[in-house]
Amino acid sequence: MLFPIWLFAPPSITTANQIPDSLEAIERGEYLLIAGGCISCHRGQTEETNEALSGGLALETDFGTFYAPNITPDTETGIGNWQAEDFLAALKHGRTPNGSFFLSCVSLPRLCGYD
Ligand code: HEC
């Protein structure tokens, strides 16, 4: 009898995680950033910002145009104010820090041809 409740309940998300900050972990993160192709969408759109993750790339889809956001540690323009849980919830569950869902590539990678 609980099956319908389980079926329609929003999936649980990861909480209470810590992102390690050892040199080894940072190097592993850089490896994953490259292996994951993150820079291909999140890179800056000018010659000066091309190596950074300042975003701006427009992705045109059948559902509208989505812009890759700035994911640098900048606290005003990037995701520098995010907690570890925010980052993990975005990457693992397609959730924004306020709990709503991302609309495009994070939650539906196929939408952006990223699957
Ligand atoms: C195909 C292009 C593409 C690739 C590749 C990509 N992203 Fe994204 N990313 C996006 C778009 C577009 C959004 C905005 C999603 C939305 O508005 O629904 C986004 C959103 C995000 C966000 C949320 C930022 C915010 O301010 O809301 C994070 C964090 C993120 N991506 C990290 C990554 C990481 C880490 C990788 C590599 C593993 C990655 N992305 C690869 C296109 C991409």
Instruction: Tell me if 88 CB under 6 Å of ligand 1.
Output: no
- Distance (angstroms) between ligand 1 centre and the Cα of 114 equals 11
pLDDT tens, residue by residue, 33-89: 999 889 999 999 998 888 889 999 998 888 788 899 999 999 999 999 999 889 888
Sign of CA dihedral 89, 73, 20, 105: positive
Structure token pair of residue 81: 């104010």
Token pair belonging to 11? 């999936």
User: Tens digit of pLDDT for each residue in 7-20?
Assistant: 566 666 655 667 78
Q: Say how far residue 11 (Cα) sits from the centre of its chain.
A: 18
Tell me the pTM: 0.82
Question: What is the number of alpha carbons within 13 Å of residue 93 lying toward its C-beta?
Answer: 18
| Domain spans, the chain | 19-112
Percentages helix, strand, coil for the chain (3-state, rounded to 5) are 35, 10, 60
* Residue identifier of the C-alpha nearest atom 38 of ligand 1: 36
Res 4: pLDDT: 63
